[in-house]
Amino acid sequence: MAFEALQEIVFACEQTKKAFWQVIMEDDMTEREVSRDGSMAQMKYTWDAMLQSASGYDRSLKSKSGLVGGDGAKMEDYYKEKGSESLCGEYVDRVIAGALQMGESNACMKRIVAAPTAGACGVLPAVLVPYYTTRGCGEGKILEALYTAAGIGQIIATRASISGAAGGCQAEIGSASAMAAGALVHLQGGNAQQIIQAAGMALKNLLGLVCDPVAGLVEVPCVKRNVIGAVNALSSADMAMAGITSRIPPDQVIDAMREIGERMDPAFRETAQGGLAGTAAGMEIAGRILSRFI
Amino acid sequence: MNIFDILGPIMVGPSSSHTAGAVKIGNISLKLLQEKPVRADIILHGSFATTGSGHGTDRALIAGLLGMQPDDMRIPDSFQLAKREGLEFTFTNKTLKNAHPNTAVLSLTGETGHTIEVQAASIGGGRVEIHKLDGVDAFFSAEKPTLIIYNLDRRGSVSDVASVLSLNHINIANMHLYRAKKGGFAVMVIEMDQEISQYAVQLLEGLDGIQKVVYLNME
């Protein structure tokens, strides 16, 4: 990628009078030596795969460990029954259900799109699919939002990390949330500066989040962390659309995420030794699963 | 890293390292065996041993051996498919010395009796590395077109191979030599910038002292 900072992408947008997504798409055309149509076709393929996995949710599935499955169905039943009566309202409840369902599908060995990782695969589709199906925006607009998200993710991967083993959950769910926040701002008609402000705020809110999977599996707490990633993206995008900015520039937020990840104890970086994995309940579950498998 | 490394891979869950990477290890091992496997004895080490079953690492490795890609929806059912394809397999958990935490060792037998032992690691994000072939250190990722040449450790083998490649306009990106012991069995691993023709592979196979040439192109 030609950019090393979100602010550099914003400068490129201002100089060329192009949208954030266009700058990222043109960078992809250069990087992979493909035509505009070639780049778009790959993005459409990716979006179609996301839609397919969202609609392929199986409410009866349980993961092999038995820890995960069925919560996405419960949430779907809840919003269908409560409608606007629930605290978050039907739209946000749909997002919550979508995040749970995709996280569960991943844990149950269904096909998903890692975005940016498999563990965080629920965040982006959770905000995009309900937007696409209930707000009547066209597919083209969603593809633009995906380029926006990918550009943000690339900068985070370059400046910091998108791996839980390297940077904790902040690097997975935090990055996914920043990507989703930027994508939503694009869908809502925000400009490049608002896109990166939303990404910066979303990431900021999840800084320090550790990766502490029970029994080392991508199940507890990963599935529900997808929910906070998605809902945090909605609130960060709305803040950015209201004109609120991050007092710490978004690129420096990413640098802070890197520093926190580097100084994070290894027990909190996907090793299943600390945090929720290290609780009495977590250890008990791990022991039970291990004795069954070995 | 391009944008489809960020929005992707499209894969069967739950883990890029423990599932998608494991499919890839199976797949590369299948190509290295060069024929349909009928038996696979697989050792799982480290995190592959402790969390592999919950991540479907075992089913992913077998899926790879059956030729599936990481996005193949049949991965969860690979054990049943293996039975139908006549592939017998065993899994053993074992702690290996100096091995990456996500390591598998696959001992394979093919339908005409060929065997190979592959030690490989999944290093994150679905990327993998081969670390040993038939017990000899051999380090490569298979991300570029790669030649694995089994030869007798003797003078001239390297220059013979290099001249065949150069005559076929192949640029070598990386070349490493590994041997079990001096004068014994050796492995050359050559990563190339371009694909190589079947004809060039045959020329390499015809060289003096060359026992076997495997061409890997995972694209």
- Which CATH number belongs to the domain containing residue A287 in this structure? 1.10.4100
Reference A115, options B125, B70, B123; nearest CA is B125
B80 occurs within a structural domain: yes
Judge whether A137 lies within some domain: yes
- Inform me whether the pLDDT recorded for B65 exceeds 90: yes
Q: Which amino acid is at A102?
A: M
CA of B91, closest CA in chain A: separation in Å? 10
A65·B7 Cβ contact <8 A? no
Task: Look at residue B140 and tell me if it is in a domain.
Answer: no
Residue A91 lies in a domain: yes
Taking the C-alpha atoms of residue B54 and residue B13, their distance in angstroms, rounded to an integer, is 11
Asked whether residue B139 is assigned to any structural domain, the reply reads: no
Residues B152 and B118 occupy one common structural domain: no
Residue A203 domain-assigned? yes
Bridge partners of B118, per DSSP, are B106, B133
Q: pTM of the entire structure?
A: 0.92
Structure tokens at A69: 């499955």
Is residue A154 in some structural domain? yes
Task: Please check whether residue A1 lies inside any domain of the structure.
Answer: no
Give the pLDDT mean for A268-290.
93
Report whether pLDDT(A102) > 80. Answer: yes
Specify the number of domains making up chain B: 2
Pair B129, B211 in one domain: no
Among the candidates B134, B158, B186, a domain finishes at: B134
Q: Are B48 and B123 contained in the same domain?
A: yes
For residue A192, being part of any structural domain is answered with: yes
Mutate to test the interface with B, among A36, A155, A218 (most CBs of B within 10 A): A218
| B178, pLDDT greater than 60 | yes
If asked whether residues B91 and B21 sit together in one domain, one would say: yes
Chain B from 124 to 153: CB within 8 A of any A CB:
124-126
All residues at 6 or more sequence positions from B127 whose CB lies less than 8 Å from its CB, including other chains: B21, B141, B143
Residue A293 banded pLDDT, cuts 50, 70, 90: low
Band (B219; pLDDT cuts 50, 70, 90):
confident
- Say whether both B185 and B84 belong to one domain: no
Q: What is the pLDDT of residues A7-38, one digit of tens each?
A: 999 999 999 999 999 999 999 999 999 999 99
Residue B176 resides in a domain: yes
- CATH number for the domain including B157? 3.30.70.260
Range of B41's domain? Answer: 3-134
Do residues B115 and B197 share a domain? no
Domain shared by B58 and B128, yes or no? yes
Q: How far apart are CA A12 and CA A286, in angstroms?
A: 49
B127 with B174, same domain?
Answer: no
What pLDDT is recorded for position B185? 82
Q: Are residues B192 and B114 in the same domain?
A: no
Tell me, what's the pLDDT at A242? Answer: 98
CB proximity A101 to B under 8 Å: no
Contact B53 A293 (CB under 8 A): yes
Domain stops at, among B72, B104, B134:
B134
Same domain, B150 and B128: no
Distance CA A290, CA B95 (A): 16
Number of domains in chain A: 1
- Residue A292 scores a pLDDT above 80: no
Question: What pLDDT does residue B124 have?
Answer: 82
* Domain membership flag for residue B141: no
Given a cut of 60, whether residue A222 has pLDDT beyond it is yes
| Angstrom distance (rounded) from CA B197 to CA A105 | 42
User: What CATH number is attached to the domain comprising B59?
Assistant: 3.30.1330.90
Query: HEC profile for A213-242?
Result: CHHHCCCCCHHHHHHHHHHHHHHHHHHHHC
Q: Kindly state whether residues B178 and B90 are assigned to the same domain.
A: no
Whole-number pLDDT of residue A61: 95
Q: Using H for helix, E for strand and C for coil, what is the string for A59-113?
A: CCCCCCCCCCCCHHHHHHHHHHHHHHHCCCHHHHHHHHHHHHHHHHHHHCCCEEE
Domain coverage including residue A23: 6-293
CA B191, CA B189: separation in Å to the nearest integer?
Answer: 7
Residues of B in contact with A110 (CB under 8 A): 12-13, 73
Q: Which residue has the tokens 């997002």?
A: A95
Whether B39 and B119 map to the same domain: the answer is: yes
Model confidence at A275, pLDDT cuts 50, 70, 90, reads: very high
